[in-house]
Structure 1
Amino acid sequence: MGGPVPSHRLAAFTLIVPVVGWGILLSPPFESIRPLLGLPEHLPASRFNGHAAEIVPPDRGDAEWFLARVAHYYHVVFAALLYSMIVLGSRLYPGEWRDTRLLGLAGAVMTAVGGLGYAYYSRSPPLHGLFIAGLAVLFASGLLVAVRLRPRDVLDHALRATLTLMLVGGVIGGYLGSSFMDEEAHKGFVEAKIAARFNPDYAEDNELWRAMVAHEHAMVALADVAAFLVALRALHLRWGRSTRLASYMVLVGLVATAVASYAVWPVGGIAHLVITPASLILLIGVTILAFKTTTTGTQPQERLLALGIRVGTLALWASVVVPGAIVASSLRKPTVFINPAFRDPAWDWAELAYNIGHWHILLAAWGIVLLLAALATQEYTRTRRVAILGGWLALAGFTAASVTVNLYMLGNPPEPYQPNPYDNIWLRLLVEPSLAVMAAGVALAYLAVVYEEAQASLRGLAPRAFEKK
């Protein structure tokens, strides 16, 4: 089995920590830290919802700055997590993955340096070129994985289908990026994105905006599914009729969900007639498989992973699926849950907050699954308890933050759009403390991995030193 050398596991974790930490340091409570990073205290186009989230400004020029920062930062996070998934997968699937890992590392680092540099320091063509080149190298790494993966069962076929569909999403992303070379298309696209931050209905006629919606919906959903499938590989499943049925539900559901999501580009929102039932089939299959993992006779870190994917799956039902159904049913007509209808101007701020929070939950779920799977496959000498404690804290913090952030997004009374319509009690008392717990857990897990990888490197060097003597 072509498992990764210790440096790749450590590099993946080390890359994620500063990338996510960058976003934390640039959040409103830490404005005073920005000058220490060589940035102005008030970034161009910054506009904050009190002490919560940065929001799009109404001015077109400022909004373009803001949207560029958001797009580049999210791609940097995505690239770091993709590289981490490649490293983890190469430990669990047979084959020679050395060049794939090296390409993944190079692509993720290039994307991070170019993307963060361009978004926050200088809008220079070389930095943007480095960002684009990094994404291209990462695409090549993913293409190698999809070609070389040799499926052995239905879930392996599902993983290969997931990777292939993500490559399709990458091509669509490349098309969107190339559209910026056309000044007229660029202008219309930016204006559509600005309008959509307040009401997506206003942007529906823009073909590039629909392509972007198709790209981002499919890519995030597929990334979460891929992480789940890779994590399952680190565990043992109780195979039976229901497990096989669930496996086919996952395969069919993810393909239908992704294809229908991509169909939003040519046909628009009517594609949700397929997306909704397909994603429901996918989620039911994922939930069944999560509860088909065996935990008897396994190590504590493997039991934590098994519990983590179960709790995480249930948390997504509670924090994404159910609130999403409530919002979808209330978009254009009042319901018992939301009154007036959610597209009423009185809900402008709440809808913006919901859209932001929704994506953060899905990205965090991807990261936590990868974290728990990495801990489950780590070889330990002295830090097993520290790593497991970190995993528990990260899982508990993620679950609490995911569920309670809906109170912040949807639990306030409707008010007109303004920088700070609410005093964000939900954030201060529930969401932010939960995120602090999650961050503490990630920090502990990182320290454990650093120690164990350093020990592994020393053990590898010892025989060579002996041979030299």
Structure 2
Amino acid sequence: MSGFGQRLKYLFTSTNGLVLTAIAITGLLAALMSTLSGPMAEWGVREITIKVLGMKLVEAEREGRVVLLYHSFFMPVVAILVYFITANVRIKENWDSFINSTVTVGYITAVCSGIGFAYFGHSPALHGLMLVGLSLVFFAGVMLAGALWPWNKEYYLSPDSPYAHTRRGVDLERVAFWVVTVATLGSAALGAWAGAYYGSGFETVLAEDIVRQPIKTTLELAVVGHLHIMLSLIGITAILLLGRWFDFHGFWHRLAMPLLIIGSITMTIGCWGVVSFQSIAHIIIYTGSLFALAGALFLVIFGIPALVRDYLNQWKIKNATAGQKIKALLYDPLKFGALWQIIFMNFTTTFVGIFMAIKLDKIFRTWPLREERIELAGHWHILASIIAIALLLYFVDQLNLKGLPRRLFGWTVIIGADLAFAAITVFAMKRLFVSEYMQQPVVNLTMLLSEIGLGVTMVSLALLLVWRLVDLFKADGLWKQELQEADTSSFTGKPASM
């Protein structure tokens, strides 16, 4: 095989290559869309981009463009989760190749045609291709659900396994992956059901725009339920994958897995129930969220002591001081950072969301709609970004980035991203402590900090991609070693005998 062919094989068959390709596509899309943002419009960059690329942006069609843009960002994320699952969970031989290739063709088709349809003229052919791409991603999910079927005796665990299982040996972690996959398929169908009525009396809506609308149509409620549950299921999948990374097992694992399973099912029922039983659906959602959050908390309780213990053992320190334990905890920013994101999420999304729910009528509904809309949009974007940061730290560990570059990348991303998330949270909640007439200093400071934090994070990601791009041009780069490992290894999960 030629060198070019080997590189293509690496990018489209190995787990690291597939993830790098998806990240690169998402990064290029983010860079393009950033030139259309508010600050870029003030500097005149937006108009230059529109004219140079020949974009067709009609203001009345903004909501439709935003929906397509969201899907274009999330399709590569869904593909990345699929790649990680097939790399970490045992499935039948060759199934991983079928699943990965299908989701890859699907998301690339959906992203390219979706952005083309939204920003470069409404070609019916592009819209049709976008639906084909989304259908392929869905079909890949169906195949994944079949491959993950947990009641196959081939995947049962032994009675003395340290991982959560039933008396018969059913792997509860595998059940959790399967439940999340099936729930995601059903939740995607919920969104597709609403989308199927475009052109038949249903117009595109953004959930934050109709939050105060007293009466919502069935299809509008379907959109609200769809976006909530899809993001929640992505978060639970990320928790399960991080658990694989930390070799989550033992007492806390046996507690966490049933809670994550129950939480996934309960939240899914609640979000679907928004369509018909809005009055009680949120109670069901909150109950499911508590189960899922408890499962994530147990991973943190397991992971932090395990991380400290591993490094103390490497350093052969038996009676460690408090300072040595803190050094061990912070020594690897990638692993510490992933656990820290779970903790930090509570301060920027969980506690804020609970407070909003409790004080909704007394405080937030007395604000102007614009302020509540900012808080809702910020809440969803921060949660999605925190999940993405945790997955990025996990992936960089798989790239075997070591030494000083590993620590610099890890701490830069953690500090930059969390600075931005904290600043945006303060900006969204500013009406609690400052009036509209006195808000400008707070707005200026939080916007500056968020832009610095996001800029630092994006530059770090860009440098990572440049490093791997340069490596791809080397005859004996890391890509070749990873390709050889992909050809000779099966999966990186726990063996069935455990």
TM-score, with normalisation over the residues of structure 1? 0.82
Q: Quick check: 1:393–1:440 contact (8 Å CA) kept in 2? A: no
Q: Offset at 1:313? A: 1.0
Distance (Å, rounded) in 2 between the aligned partners of 1:458 and 1:162: 34
SS in structure 1 opposite 2:276? helix
Q: Quick check: 2:266–2:285 contact (8 Å CA) kept in 1? A: yes
- 1:12 and 2:41 are equivalent in the alignment: no
Q: Quick check: 2:253–2:298 contact (8 Å CA) kept in 1? A: yes
Q: In the alignment, what sits opposite 2:458?
A: 439
Distance (Å, rounded) in 2 between the aligned partners of 1:19 and 1:302: 33
Q: Quick check: 1:308–1:395 contact (8 Å CA) kept in 2? A: yes
1:403-432 CA-partner distances (Å, limit 9, x unpaired) = 22111111134659xxx9998224333211
CA spacing shift, 1:77–1:384, aligned 2, 3 Å: farther
Q: In the alignment, what sits opposite 2:335?
A: 306
Distance (Å, rounded) in 2 between the aligned partners of 1:421 and 1:389: 34
CA spacing shift, 1:265–1:331, aligned 2, 3 Å: same
Structure 1 segment 6-45 matched on structure 2, within 5 A: 7-31=17-41, 32-34=44-46, 35-36=48-49, 38-39=52-53, 43-45=57-59
CA spacing shift, 1:310–1:253, aligned 2, 3 Å: same
CA spacing shift, 1:120–1:414, aligned 2, 3 Å: farther
Q: Offset at 1:91? A: 2.3
Q: In the alignment, what sits opposite 2:86?
A: 90
Which of 263, 277, 299 is equivalent to 1:253? 263
Q: In the alignment, what sits opposite 2:230?
A: 219
Q: Quick check: 2:412–2:456 contact (8 Å CA) kept in 1? A: yes
SS in structure 1 opposite 2:212? helix
Distance (Å, rounded) in 1 between the aligned partners of 2:393 and 2:149: 25
Q: Offset at 1:319? A: 0.5
Q: In the alignment, what sits opposite 1:232?
A: 243
Q: What amino acid is the match of 1:343? A: R
Alignment RMSD (CA, Å): 3.0
Distance (Å, rounded) in 1 between the aligned partners of 2:58 and 2:208: 18
Which of 430, 434, 442 is equivalent to 1:411? 430
Structure 1 segment 287-436 matched on structure 2, within 5 A: 287-293=297-303, 294-295=306-307, 296-297=309-310, 303-333=332-362, 341-344=363-366, 346-379=367-400, 385-412=404-431, 413=434, 415=436, 424-436=443-455
Q: Quick check: 2:75–2:107 contact (8 Å CA) kept in 1? A: yes
CA spacing shift, 1:260–1:438, aligned 2, 3 Å: same
Which of 164, 176, 200 is equivalent to 2:194? 176
CA spacing shift, 1:304–1:94, aligned 2, 3 Å: farther
SS in structure 1 opposite 2:128? helix
Structure 1 segment 252-291 matched on structure 2, within 5 A: 252-291=262-301
Q: Quick check: 1:172–1:211 contact (8 Å CA) kept in 2? A: yes
Distance (Å, rounded) in 2 between the aligned partners of 1:451 and 1:306: 26
Distance (Å, rounded) in 2 between the aligned partners of 1:428 and 1:174: 36
1:19-61 CA-partner distances (Å, limit 9, x unpaired) = 222332221222333424635799432xxxxxxxxxxxxxxxx
Which of 164, 168, 172 is equivalent to 1:154? 172
Q: Offset at 1:234? A: 2.0
Q: In the alignment, what sits opposite 2:489?
A: none
Q: What amino acid is the match of 1:66? A: R
1:243-293 CA-partner distances (Å, limit 9, x unpaired) = 311222122112111211111111114211111122022112211112312
Q: In the alignment, what sits opposite 1:78?
A: 74
More deviation, 116-125/288-297: 288-297
SS in structure 2 opposite 1:236? coil
CA spacing shift, 1:71–1:13, aligned 2, 3 Å: same
Distance (Å, rounded) in 1 between the aligned partners of 2:75 and 2:208: 24
Q: Greater relative contact order: 1 or 2 (C-alpha under 8 angstroms, separation 6 or more)?
A: 2
Q: Quick check: 1:319–1:402 contact (8 Å CA) kept in 2? A: yes
Q: Offset at 1:456? A: 3.6
Structure 2 runs not aligned, ≥5 long? 1-12, 156-170, 315-327, 485-498
Q: Quick check: 2:424–2:447 contact (8 Å CA) kept in 1? A: no
Q: In the alignment, what sits opposite 2:103?
A: 104
Distance (Å, rounded) in 1 between the aligned partners of 2:173 and 2:81: 16
1:376-425 CA-partner distances (Å, limit 9, x unpaired) = 22245xx6543442233222222222222111111134659xxx999822
CA spacing shift, 1:459–1:377, aligned 2, 3 Å: closer
Q: Offset at 1:10? A: 2.8
More deviation, 36-45/71-80: 36-45
Q: Quick check: 2:267–2:284 contact (8 Å CA) kept in 1? A: yes
Q: Quick check: 1:386–1:445 contact (8 Å CA) kept in 2? A: no
SS in structure 2 opposite 1:123? coil
Q: Offset at 1:302? A: 10
Structure 1 runs not aligned, ≥5 long? 46-61, 334-340, 463-469
Q: Quick check: 1:332–1:342 contact (8 Å CA) kept in 2? A: yes
Identity %: 23
Q: What amino acid is the match of 1:44? A: V
Q: What amino acid is the match of 2:58? A: P
Q: Quick check: 2:236–2:292 contact (8 Å CA) kept in 1? A: no
1:173-231 CA-partner distances (Å, limit 9, x unpaired) = 2111111141x2x1xx44xx37x645523164311011111111000000111122112
TM-score, with normalisation over the residues of structure 2? 0.77
Q: Quick check: 2:142–2:185 contact (8 Å CA) kept in 1? A: yes
Distance (Å, rounded) in 1 between the aligned partners of 2:229 and 2:182: 12
CA spacing shift, 1:423–1:399, aligned 2, 3 Å: closer
Q: In the alignment, what sits opposite 2:4?
A: none
CA spacing shift, 1:457–1:310, aligned 2, 3 Å: closer
Distance (Å, rounded) in 1 between the aligned partners of 2:430 and 2:482: 54
- The alignment of Structure 1 onto Structure 2 pairs a total of residues equal to 422
Distance (Å, rounded) in 1 between the aligned partners of 2:15 and 2:376: 39
